[in-house]
């Protein structure tokens, strides 16, 4: 059951990128990013209010800078949409994941942003290496 949810979650991530790319072709990339996030925001807000999942004051307990993390999504969506147009969904998704896992790994191993420090181990290097090899196979 959990595996089905996890699989669907991943499938929706790809679907979201493709939908953004499709909407961008009709109304423009910034418009697509603004529209999809606005409608998502409205739905999430309704769920939040319906579930009474915390109160507004909770935001005050977060270090203010971290509250703006969501703003990166504008550039993330823009980059993802343009990449899908240039190199297709598969290579875009794979390269995005390599950069994402690689940087997360660097952040974890250096303890940046106050995250708990992790030791680098060989499966991390082997895993990233295999992912890059896979993208090279797809690209040549």
Partner 1 sequence: MILGLLLAMTAGALVSVQNIFNSKVNERTGSWATTTLVLGMGFLASLAFGVAFEGKAMFRLEGMQTWFYFSGIIGVGVVTCLVKGIRMLGPTYAIAIALTAQLLIALVWDSLGLFGVEQVPFTLKQLIGVLVIIGGVIVFKLGGAERSSTASSTISTTPHVDKS
Judged by DSSP in three states, 113 sits in: helix
Q: Which residues ranging from 86 to 125 are in contact with partner 1 (CB under 8 A)?
A: 86-104, 107-108, 113, 115-116, 118-119, 121-124
DSSP one-letter string for 115-135: PPP----HHHHHHHHHHHHHH
Distance in Å, CB of 55 to partner 1, minimum: 8
Sketch the per residue contact string, 9 through 48, with partner 1: x for CB under 8 A, - otherwise: xxxxxxxxxxxxxxx-xxxx-xxxxxxxxxxxxxxxx-xx
CA distances from residue 26 to 22, 23, 30, 32, 34 in whole angstroms, order as listed: 7, 5, 11, 9, 14
* Cβ atoms of residues 81 and 24 within 8 Å: yes
- How many residues of this chain bind partner 1 (CB under 8 A)? 116
For position 64 contacting partner 1 by CB under 8 A, the verdict is no
Contact 77, 13 (CB under 8 A): no
């Amino acid at each position: 059951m959990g595996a089905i949810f996890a699989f669907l979650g991943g499938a929706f991530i790809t679907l979201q990128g493709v939908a953004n790319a499709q909407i961008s072709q009709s109304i423009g990339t910034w418009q697509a990013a603004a529209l999809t996030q606005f409608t998502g925001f409205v739905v999430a807000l309704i769920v939040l209010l319906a579930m009474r999942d915390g109160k507004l004051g909770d935001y005050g307990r977060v270090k203010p800078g971290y509250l703006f993390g969501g703003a990166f999504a504008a550039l993330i969506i823009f980059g993802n949409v343009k990449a899908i147009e240039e190199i297709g969904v598969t290579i875009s998704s794979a390269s995005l994941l390599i950069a994402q896992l690689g940087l997360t790994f660097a952040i974890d191993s250096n303890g940046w942003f106050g995250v708990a420090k992790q030791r680098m181990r060989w499966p991390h290097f082997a895993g990233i290496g295999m992912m890059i090899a896979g993208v090279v196979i797809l690209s040549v």
